Copies of this chain bind each other. A is one copy, B any other.
Amino acid sequence: MKDQNIICPVALTLSLIEGKWKTLILRDLLEGKKRFGELQRSVEGISQKVLTTQLRALEANGIVERIAYAEIPPRVEYQLSPQGQSLHAIIDAMRIWGENYQMLDK
């Protein structure tokens, strides 16, 4: 957790969802529960290591929940926590803003 987050809640929120991949992961998890392999396919171009890192970070921050089944072969599912679900409105707002922004050319 960065130092500035203490004084700037905006930076706090942002720190939880920023980065090259987190929004893409969240976008997919907003659709519902997903397995590790599913995420790796839907978040195109991400490596195993980085997907693991990002999911661990989201989990540590209470945004996603990890459910491991004791099976052979192993199965692990990820889903948004209630905290994560509550980001839905913000992500939607950013999506809409981004779509408008795109239409003004650039």
Residues of chain A touching chain B, judged by Cβ–Cβ distance below 8 Å, are 1-2, 4-5, 8-14, 16-20, 23-24, 27, 61-62, 83, 86-87, 89-91, 93-99, 101-102, 104, 106
- In the assembled complex, 12 residue pairs joining A and B whose CB atoms fall closer than 8 Å, in A order, are A4-B20, A4-B24, A8-B24, A8-B27, A8-B98, A9-B95, A9-B99, A9-B101, A9-B102, A10-B98, A83-B101, A90-B93
Q: Least Cβ distance of A3 to chain B in Å? A: 9
Please pick, from B8, B16, B20, B101, the residue contacting A13 in the complex, using a CB distance under 8 A: B101
Q: Which 8 A-B pairs have the closest CB atoms?
A: A9-B98, A13-B98, A13-B94, A12-B98, A18-B18, A9-B99, A10-B95, A10-B23
